[in-house]
Amino acid sequence: KFNTGQGFFNWQASPAMLLGVGYSYTKSSGDTSATYHQVSIGADYSLSKRTDVYMTAAYQHASGTTGDGNGGAVAAQASIGSYGYAGTSTQEMVNLGLRHKF
């Protein structure tokens, strides 16, 4: 069982610029002791009514142990969203993009 608490803050810095920051804490219970801390930031800048550029970045740290699927325990691995497991206790990711809406 995993329990998660999250907090996010968005700020419209200007009519064209949106900034955001977030924090997520996850703690497992039962036979495991895994704990995950994740910090995220993002920005979106409108170039026109239909085109914008965006950036998101995140850092996650995992500690403790989690189940291995065979009744044993292994060290918890960081995993941000659907980007896969880092194979280590930390993971970082950055996304940059240009979006045009048709």
Query: Per residue in 33-74, pLDDT tens?
Result: 999 999 999 999 999 999 999 999 999 999 999 888 888 889
Mean pLDDT of all residues in 70-97:
87
pLDDT confidence of residue 94 = 95
Q: pTM of the prediction? A: 0.87
More confident residue, 31 or 51: 51
Q: Are strands 90-100 and 51-63 parallel, antiparallel or unpaired?
A: antiparallel
pLDDT confidence of residue 86 = 72
Q: Which residues are CB-neighbours of 26 under 8 A, at least 6 positions away?
A: 2, 3, 4, 34, 35, 36, 38
Mean pLDDT of all residues in 81-88:
78
